[in-house]
Structure 1
Amino acid sequence: MTAAIADHSFQSALAVPTVRRLDNGLTIIAQQTPTDAVNLNLWFRVGSAVESDSINGMAHFLEHMLFKGTDHLPQGEFERRIEARGGVANAATSQDYTHFYFTSAPQDFAALAPLQIELVLNPRLAISDFERERSVILEEIARAHDNPRRRIFARSMAMTFDRLPYRRSVLGTAAVVKSLTAQQMRDFHHYWYQPERITAVAVGNLPEEELIQTVAAGFEQALARRQRVDESRNPATQVCRSAPEAPFATIQRHSFTDAALQQARLVLSWRVPGLTDVEQTNALDVLTSILARGRLSRLVRDLREQQQLVTSIAASNMSYWQQGVFTIAASLPTENIETVEAAIVDHVQRVQTDPVALAELQRVQTQVANRYVFDSESPSDLAGLYGYYQTLTGQLQPALHYPNEIQRLTPADIQMAAQIYLSTQAYGALHILPTAAPSTIS
């Protein structure tokens, strides 16, 4: 398949939705699709990255509390009505955003959408509910500490970032969560959950204008009730903003032990561009597939299939808003750590010195672009995709044109990205051992 043919097919896969910004600042994105369902995704540009250390965990705690009902909607009523109609609802908090979503049949959308909007805009946030939910959050933090995979991720983030808030847990620490107050949460909600900071995405089998009007009316009703109770609230909040961190200047190795592991873990990390420089992330996405994503990737074939030095190995390019992290992670016998780290660095070096063959690049481009399209088939997939990019970049173009941008990359683009961002002389290396040997940091 030629690049031109691939371009045409990907362009037809992602239709252009309608985007409308209301006078109150709310952004609504709507798209009609043939699938007989409708998804509403409410995106908020608030996550753990905007928190100061003293309130770390507030955004996630608030996500839980927004399901405790409002003065007009008793706790559990939204979920009851969703389930009665065969729908599903959930929410998630990350470093850069929080979003709430539900999927229903088209004929139920007009009745359910205002309920979700009411929940997120007018939460009761009662002290009694706050205290009960605090114990749930503390239990979630304890479970995260007991999960080896989450412990490894936490250590990796702490190694990668010296000062950016991505080094902290989205959940916060037990000590901080114990210190939070209901009034702090009310102030946090008042500041961040304003219409000008919200992107509402409705995708499914209803006319776009009907989707927009349903969402707009739901916000109008909820905001009318909110204005009568928010006038005396203090909107003050604590916000953390920083510039991206410079790339590693040297190789920084950190070693720990974890008695729960059966095999060692090796994680190599590089600081790379994030969504504030979104066009620079595309070549890095392709590099993950060239190096260690899928059975045909270089590191999987060499280190797992041929030399059998690792039991698993994978690469990822995590694009946070302020900065990204490119990682290569492996599970392996402890005695292979040094050999595998050297082999990974050697493979990165080869990408830097020898341009990727056109046939290999075209195969990977097809994989990356098709994976993106396949992950954008359902109303919930599309709503999540549009909300994510609109919230974090302020535009939909990266979402709509990503497959084509991937197809346009050349071997020189891939080589240059590896040369600029994946230094073989400066990166973070995390070694986590399954033994009880004393841990060291060098």
Structure 2
Amino acid sequence: MENIKKTLVKYPYLTRDVEVYERENGHKIVLAHKEGDMVNVSSWVKTGSINENDHNNGISHFLEHLMFKGTHKHKAGYFDRTLEAKGAIVNAATWKDYTFYYVTLPKGEGNKDFYETIELHADMMLDPTLPEDEIGHEFDINDDKSVRDKRERHVVIEEIRMRKDQPWTKVYNKTNSCMYKKHPYKRDVIGTPEIISQVPQAEIMEYYKTHYTPNNVTTIIVGDFNHEEILEKVCKEFDWKGRKNYQNPIYEIDAPTDHTIYNEETANVNTGFLMAGYLTCPAKDVKDTILMDLVNIILGDGSSSRLYQNLIEKVEEPVFNMVETDYYQFRDGNNFFVEANFRPEKKEKAVEMIKAEIEKVKSTITEAEFKKAVKKTKSEFAYKAETVSEIGDTIGHYMTVCNDLALVSDYLNILESLTVEDVQDAAERYLNINNAVISVLMPEK
């Protein structure tokens, strides 16, 4: 067997250390033990919209769709049809830092279904044919008569159009694009109809060959199995045949804006939509990431949060229909968002009320709020170790976005060490109104 580097990682709530293997070609294999009959097989690729430009934006997501369209061994549909007949859940997703493909299913008698899943998954990852008749012909997006066939190209464009018309998509895209001047995170992951309608098969295949390389892929197996046998099986099936590696570019992250950027647009909506975005720490900064997760819970997560209680539940004069926060984790820098739907005639008041609540959270967090947020964070972390799918997702995140699974070992100790003052300090450092991008969508007059 080839020379493989092995590392053990203590993973909270699991009964055995997680095994991380790095092959000579850079391909990483992670084996995690979880008792039960279910297994999860996934591969995470270190490419997404971060590796795109203005000319091929959306190609990562388009390729994700096309990876299921057959290999030299199996025709389009065989992969899904075969595995779903065995009770499998088959899916994939593309985001800014990664694209991942996964299968969750019962192992089957004598592990037969489990082994076949590894074979099919490896075949799909290593030998997609991206057939022209599945992609569909290129066409002029402004001329419906030029559409010769409604294949996957057309499916993806319809998906883009459906999202584009959604109010939240409009305010998110506007906010996101203004948070960055140069970094590729500024682009929408799904791309544009103009690009997807024209990108040729050869360009998609070249993108695949460039980015789906051994050093950029982590294959994760979670379940109850013989680790030596499965390691040997994965190494055998993932025969890269000397494929050359590709080193992803390192992008300099933009500094936060030094003054509040305010955008306002109109659309065919009946209520007002608002999003305020802030740049924060990289995902691998576990302490600050946890701190901003706690801010997220206290300020805007659910009906017990400050924003809901102070701006919806306890007000005499209704202004908001909905208000909450979100926290997205990315390799080069996380995003914190405040999102609100409000009565359009109360726009100015809505903006000022949100600003005031953000300022208050920097100095008025109570011990009770803090303890409740810590307890919820602990519970969510524990939940992510309950199923093979959740474990696979968490490992994939740490391996791909944070570039270090060992960080998961420190998570609970860091969480336990934090104080109210730490959370308020993080809010003070990252939620400065001068660093905010605010986008508002109003009804057309």
1:380-417 residue CA offsets vs partner (Å, 9 max, x unmatched): 11001101110122211333433432232111211211
Distance 1:166 1:283 in 2: 23
- Residue 316 of structure 1 deviates from its aligned partner by 1.3
Which region of structure 1 is more displaced relative to structure 2, 402-411 or 377-386? 402-411
**Residues 127-276 of structure 1 mapped to structure 2, 5 A cutoff:** 127-131=132-136, 132-220=151-239, 223-224=240-241, 241-259=250-268, 261-276=269-284
**Residues 29-428 of structure 1 mapped to structure 2, 5 A cutoff:** 29-106=30-107, 107=111, 108-131=113-136, 132-220=151-239, 223-224=240-241, 241-259=250-268, 261-307=269-315, 308-354=318-364, 356-428=365-437
Distance 1:303 1:424 in 2: 19
Which region of structure 1 is more displaced relative to structure 2, 51-60 or 179-188? 179-188
Q: Secondary structure at the match of 2:361?
A: helix
List structure 1 segments (4+ residues) > 6 angstroms apart after TM superposition: none
Which AA in structure 1 matches 2:334? Answer: G
- Residue 213 of structure 1 deviates from its aligned partner by 2.4
**Are the aligned partners of 1:32 and 1:207 in contact in 2 as well (CA < 8 Å)?**
no
Which AA in structure 1 matches 2:17? Answer: V
Gaps of 5+ in 2: 1-10, 137-150
Distance 2:266 2:217 in 1: 43
**Are the aligned partners of 1:202 and 1:212 in contact in 2 as well (CA < 8 Å)?**
no
- Residue 53 of structure 1 deviates from its aligned partner by 1.2
- Residue 126 of structure 1 deviates from its aligned partner by 2.8
Partner of 1:440: none
- Residue 150 of structure 1 deviates from its aligned partner by 2.3
Which AA in structure 1 matches 2:320? Answer: V
**Are the aligned partners of 2:153 and 2:197 in contact in 1 as well (CA < 8 Å)?**
yes
Which AA in structure 1 matches 2:330? Answer: Y
Distance 2:368 2:15 in 1: 26
Distance 2:195 2:429 in 1: 39
- Residue 244 of structure 1 deviates from its aligned partner by 1.4
Q: Give percent identity, aligned residues only.
A: 26
Gaps of 5+ in 1: 1-9, 438-442
Which AA in structure 2 matches 1:135? Answer: H
Q: Secondary structure at the match of 2:404?
A: coil
Q: Write 1 or 2 for the structure with the bigger share of helix.
A: 1
Change (3 A) 1:337 1:397: farther
Distance 2:326 2:415 in 1: 16
Distance 2:15 2:54 in 1: 40
1:312-363 residue CA offsets vs partner (Å, 9 max, x unmatched): 1111121222122111111111123322322222222223234x32232111
- Residue 145 of structure 1 deviates from its aligned partner by 1.6
- Residue 22 of structure 1 deviates from its aligned partner by 1.5
Which region of structure 1 is more displaced relative to structure 2, 155-164 or 39-48? 155-164
- Residue 284 of structure 1 deviates from its aligned partner by 0.7
Q: If the length of structure 1 is used for normalisation, what is the TM-score?
A: 0.88
Partner of 1:7: none
Distance 2:353 2:309 in 1: 12
Alignment length (residue pairs): 415
Distance 2:353 2:14 in 1: 39
Q: Secondary structure at the match of 2:279?
A: strand
- Residue 41 of structure 1 deviates from its aligned partner by 0.9
Which AA in structure 2 matches 1:21? Answer: E
- Residue 278 of structure 1 deviates from its aligned partner by 4.1
Q: Secondary structure at the match of 2:332?
A: coil
Distance 1:186 1:161 in 2: 29
